[in-house]
A and B are shown apart, each in its own frame.
Chain A
């Protein structure tokens, strides 16, 4: 049995590792990005000088040979599903018995005029990082940068450029940073934190076009709302990502925005599976989006598909929602569901510390008082505790009263549970 995996990101590599743990199948992983698996989420730290590329590799290079996982560096051009054969770099043919597609994402471009000019780029792949190193090595070559798109990658790119003293204008379409996801109080706090880092944050601002003096390199952009022209040497396009599945178009494989899969991560073609960012669930799991570009869901999908391929079929069941991120110096963790605005029958409790770097929002089901989720900024929380509390359907009263058990900040840190509890009692003095 020969298992071929396209893509050596976290999903594909997790699948390979777990198939190896459970079987003796021949495993081949193909990637055009890098020979060895590295942590994509760490790309920013390479540019910032916190790490080198080699530090972002979670396994030493000997690991793959030792575990008999063959690595091929090359780009899959096409797949012949009926012959179970793929073409790599227009030359090499590889046949498979089972195929796992784990090709990840690509940066979104929304047809902006000038979006394909030099000096315009996204930030997703290792190649993007190399391009960035050419486009913006320092503030002399890159005198000003414009970032388009206020999401997680956008704020990372702003932080990266800031470490090299490159002035940044940050165009955010929404009225407040990431407020499609974050509740108002949190989003507003992050706006202020971005400004404190001297980033020129422009809310309610869309990109109209990217202009070029020489028709080759980007030289300025126009903001749609104000018609303001901003001179720049780099335009970062960070308006989200979408599944990297263009090479699969015009094949028998059923695509939506990504590769359509069922809960077993099977596609419409026998022996072909899709996992990670490129997979699209036909029916969403719980309240999750059908396409999840999240590190840990890629991991779970990789593990799930490995079980299925090794004869112990499992449904993709990622459990309670959680996630984390970091906005400059402020860490963010979320457990359960806290939507930007309370939905029907939900209420939010928001607490913010005076220093404007810490806050939490707790979402509660109004009728029952059931705890639905928490967002924590600047305070670390325990995953296993919240997972248990969500399992046990605890009330928010219980969660607030026991919050110190979930605290994961380093020893000797100041704690805020009492402040939070007092504020909570004041706002909802129902059980007090």
Chain B
């Protein structure tokens, strides 16, 4: 069976070959990256503003020219020719090389920023200094490793976003969705927080805040330094803190009810934005096996429990016990969290018992862990939970989940595990939205009667590893917690079988099978 695959990858014929224009575009893009690499080592390079502008433009324009040449001679339609023939996108040699380089970049970024030129005392050097002019222009402050990362991240989403729009120029859903993530990244994640930093003074210090980054994705949002910052910034700060709270507890459930988790995961979120644009070439690499689905559920809900425990521990560690100073004491907080969770669980178990089936057990275990934690926090003094320090819980979470999982593995391994590993396996925000989507949402992917020919394009190109075909071939609508509503299954379907929809039949969404089947009255399509 695999002989034919080997033949294929050896021949190197179109669509695997690069055209002359694509080669030149690659050289241009690589030269931009080369200058950045050089800047990391050479201080004299790092002080040249024109060179800095050239490097960023070279990367940006290199990607654009490459993409333009890829699609310019093709009629609008699905453009997956050769995806599994090219070693970059079929987990071949170039895929692994790209994966290792990206992973290396993340390791340096998160753990060794000094190699990028971050100096704890004194001004920046190297690569970070190279970005100083842009940072100063925006926020008035010198750059940090996060500014470098944010700039490159934004460039990637914009350039690959344009590529994606070219690729799907026949599909308005894809075009609008991509424009949306490009906008939210550029405005909310990149420019607005930098401008907000301009407002800061000695007495007024808003924490860096990407407004679309909602707890628990933004797991540090309720840490003491940020709360202090919000409070010190008066009304504006309190408004932001309030916004942080309502976005997870009010805005999120309403929007997810109406549109499914896609409103966030594939229209707004920055992680999703990168996955959908720069990561699009790797979506087919996600694992569709039943085994992977099982792993996914264990891992993502464990992360969710972890982030709730960690946040509760951290918040309770800085709340006082004296009610006369402030109404929100440690015990009030713990009791509040326990009551809220109990209420949520009680409602789910009351209204949605059937929908949970086997998952009910895991839900109960997760709930128990959190409640025990809260009790533990109540009886523990100071800043610890049982034997753990709240601070060490936080730093462990930050290291394991925030850095290793979402960054190094989640993005670094795009060319190996696919572009949504973090979103699928690790993101606690996606976990919450997923529970909402599965239980209380109008969203589903409709299967169109009996038209499915089981070809497998939908499953292959599902970045979340959902075996879409399994549902489509039996004419069943797809309601899965992990679906981010990217719409690609619908786009690549050659027979017009799949459609992302919102409709009011929330409780019976996933039960109807529209394929032709034999029943008492003969063969019919069930409408």
- Output the least CB separation between B517 and chain A (Å): 7
Report yes or no: A55 in contact with B459, Cβ–Cβ below 8 A.
yes
Size range of the chain A interface in the assembly: 35 or more
Residue A39 at the B interface, CB < 8 A?
yes
B residues within 8 A CB of A388? Answer: 525, 527
Report yes or no: A329 in contact with B76, Cβ–Cβ below 8 A.
yes
Within 8 A of A (CB), among B1-56: 1-5, 7-8, 11-16
Report yes or no: B80 in contact with A49, Cβ–Cβ below 8 A.
yes
Within 8 A of B (CB), among A126-169: 129-130, 133-134, 137-140, 163-165
Cα–Cα distance between A292 and B289 once the two chains are bound (Å): 33
Binds B, one of A110-118, A300-308, A359-367: A300-308
B residues within 8 A CB of A315? Answer: 522
Size range of the chain B interface in the assembly: 35 or more
* Given contact pairs A50-B83, A163-B81, A197-B75, A382 touches B448 in the complex (Cβ within 8 A): yes
B residues within 8 A CB of A53? Answer: 1-2, 4-5
Binds B, one of A172-180, A213-221, A405-413: A405-413
Report yes or no: B8 in contact with A163, Cβ–Cβ below 8 A.
no
Residue B526 at the A interface, CB < 8 A?
yes
A residues within 8 A CB of B171? Answer: 410, 413
B residues within 8 A CB of A303? Answer: 517-518
Cα–Cα distance between A51 and B493 once the two chains are bound (Å): 13
Report yes or no: B455 in contact with A39, Cβ–Cβ below 8 A.
yes
Report yes or no: B13 in contact with A138, Cβ–Cβ below 8 A.
yes
In the complex, residue of chain B having the shortest beta-carbon distance to the beta carbon of A42 = B455
Cα–Cα distance between A41 and B455 once the two chains are bound (Å): 6
A residues within 8 A CB of B289? Answer: 60
Residue B243 at the A interface, CB < 8 A?
no
Report yes or no: B460 in contact with A51, Cβ–Cβ below 8 A.
yes
How many pairs, one residue from A and one from B, have CB atoms within 8 Å of each other in the complex?
A: 194
Cα–Cα distance between A385 and B527 once the two chains are bound (Å): 7
Residue A317 at the B interface, CB < 8 A?
yes
Within 8 A of B (CB), among A290-344: 295-296, 299-300, 303-304, 307, 314-315, 317-319, 322, 324-326, 328-329, 331, 333
Cα–Cα distance between A140 and B80 once the two chains are bound (Å): 22
- Output the least CB separation between B295 and chain A (Å): 15
Residue A370 at the B interface, CB < 8 A?
no
Report yes or no: A137 in contact with B11, Cβ–Cβ below 8 A.
yes
Residue A87 at the B interface, CB < 8 A?
no
- Output the least CB separation between B29 and chain A (Å): 23
- Output the least CB separation between A320 and chain B (Å): 8
In the complex, residue of chain B having the shortest beta-carbon distance to the beta carbon of A323 = B451
* Given contact pairs A55-B460, A58-B454, A317-B522, A139 touches B13 in the complex (Cβ within 8 A): yes
In the complex, residue of chain A having the shortest beta-carbon distance to the beta carbon of B76 = A329
Residue B379 at the A interface, CB < 8 A?
no
Report yes or no: A49 in contact with B8, Cβ–Cβ below 8 A.
yes
| Residue of B1, B82, B525 touching A387 (CB-CB under 8 A) | B525
Cα–Cα distance between A319 and B516 once the two chains are bound (Å): 9
In the complex, residue of chain A having the shortest beta-carbon distance to the beta carbon of B4 = A133
Report yes or no: B13 in contact with A413, Cβ–Cβ below 8 A.
no
B residues within 8 A CB of A382? Answer: 448-449
Report yes or no: A410 in contact with B173, Cβ–Cβ below 8 A.
yes
B residues within 8 A CB of A409? Answer: 499
A-B contact pairs, 26 of them (CB 8 A): A45-B455, A45-B456, A49-B16, A49-B80, A49-B84, A49-B86, A50-B78, A50-B83, A50-B84, A51-B456, A54-B1, A57-B456, A129-B4, A296-B451, A300-B518, A307-B518, A314-B522, A318-B516, A319-B523, A322-B450, A333-B495, A380-B496, A408-B499, A410-B499, A412-B172, A413-B172
Known: A133-B7, A164-B13, A307-B518. 14 other contacts (CB 8 A): A34-B1, A46-B4, A49-B80, A51-B456, A139-B14, A315-B522, A319-B516, A319-B525, A329-B75, A382-B449, A384-B527, A387-B527, A410-B491, A411-B173
Give me the interface of A with B, judged by CB distance under 8 Å: 10, 34, 39, 41-42, 45-46, 48-58, 60, 129-130, 133-134, 137-140, 163-165, 196-197, 295-296, 299-300, 303-304, 307, 314-315, 317-319, 322, 324-326, 328-329, 331, 333, 380-385, 387-388, 408-414
